[in-house]
A = this chain, B = another copy of it.
Amino acid sequence: MISQKYKKMLEGKSVIRQLSEFATERGKAIGYENVFDYSLGNPSVPVPREFTDVMIEMLKEKNPAELHGYSPSLGIPSVRKKIADSLNKRFGMNYTENHIFMTSGAAGAIAHAVRCVSDAGDEILTFAPFFPEYHPYINLSGAVLKVVPPNTEDFQINFTLFEEMLNEKTAAVLINSPNNPSGVVYSEETIVKLCDMLKNKEKEYGHEIFIISDEPYREILFAGVKAPYVSNYYDNTLSCYSYSKSLSLPGERIGYVAVNPACKDSEYLVSMCGQISRGIGHNCPPSIIQLAVAEVVDLTSDMSIYERNMNLIYEKLVELGFTCVKPGGTFYIFPKALEEDAKVFSQKATKYDLILVPGDSFGCSGYFRMAYCIDTEKVERSLAALEKFIKSEYGI
């Protein structure tokens, strides 16, 4: 018989998917350039030229049997070394290649990190608003995701509720800063308070509580914003990274887990990731992409466009009277909807060809997400549609 567990999952249809389908259909009718699709976090800026050049050079020059040969299951050693060196230089860490496990993007990184530090029934806490795929990432591993309600004041952590939810079954805390969907960057004050609380609880419970730090937006920071590197504050940290956003390579599935060398049992964790891989059918990210990324490990795509887009949208939202925390990074913004039910608000917006994602699935109802990884020219045109929408529907 087919698996009833996975068949049942087919019943839920994601709101983002429905909106995306609407956008596609509408695009066919009026031209996709006229649909202001803020639904998907697919980077709009190209990968640095250097990446393409090194790919072409390898394809031309290298022995294909070697180039496309099996990668060791933990990743190609020279690639892991370059990543470790780059992190050490930037964040003052002391990673070696033995602390880096190559993965299929951040999804793969989290899949491994969660299995490393939890057993069936353990709890993993995360903070709303949060990326909805955390549900399947965690719950299908056997652990249980628990969501701490949001602090809508500034989208830092709601520490009061967090402390109430911590308990002996808490194996790890999954954080995401810069944050999808809020765009907010956790301040140093937030990180310090979080780490202090966890250190105390580790003592109280007599076991480690790991931080799984989901960092795909680490490089997308706006003027004047600093993002604390979590491992600098907390030993038991596994950093999950993806090049999907910083190098605009989401389709090529490449990222890593970086295990803090000061972490409890750090000498086992990367090898354990290799064992976990055997059960989930992952055998490293593609070899050629590993090798190419290693050559551009200190580069990023041109992120300035995202900041320009953010400023345009943020200013217009404020002008129109929205309550909105200004993003410190990412390509997301998460304003408060103008009526209680953000699903109704988003539905109305589609009449103006604006695709806005209600915040409910991010664990934060009454808000909506805009993913502004689109052309600035289109952002500019969308603002007139936004103004028309608000004035027509809400009389503001």
Contact = CB atoms under 8 A, between A and B. Distances in A.
Task: Give chain A's interface residue range (CB within 8 Å of chain B).
Answer: 35 or more
Most buried by B among A1, A43, A103: A1
A3 interface: yes
Nearest to A253: B286
Given A251-B69, A286-B286, A2 B107 contact: no
A312 to B, nearest CB: 20
Nearest to A136: B278
A18 interface: no
Contacts of A280: 111, 140, 280-282
Contact of A6 (B6, B47, B116): B116
Given A251-B286, A253-B285, 17 more contacts: A1-B119, A1-B207, A3-B118, A10-B271, A42-B69, A42-B70, A46-B64, A55-B55, A56-B56, A69-B250, A71-B251, A109-B281, A111-B281, A136-B278, A139-B279, A253-B286, A280-B281
Nearest to A53: B59
A70 B71 CA distance: 23
A351 interface: no
A6 B275 contact: yes
The 10 A-B residue pairs whose C-beta atoms are closest, nearest first, are A140-B279, A111-B281, A251-B287, A136-B278, A280-B280, A108-B281, A46-B64, A9-B275, A6-B272, A107-B281
Contacts of A46: 63-65
A45 interface: yes
Contact of A286 (B6, B119, B279, B289): B289
Contacts of A107: 281-283
Contacts of A340: none
Contacts of A104: 104, 281-283
A87 interface: no
A315 interface: no
A68 interface: yes
Interface string A241-265: 0000000111111000000000011
Contacts of A275: 6, 9-10, 136
A325 to B, nearest CB: 27
B52 A59 contact: yes
A141 interface: yes
A284 interface: yes
B252 A286 contact: yes
A276 interface: yes
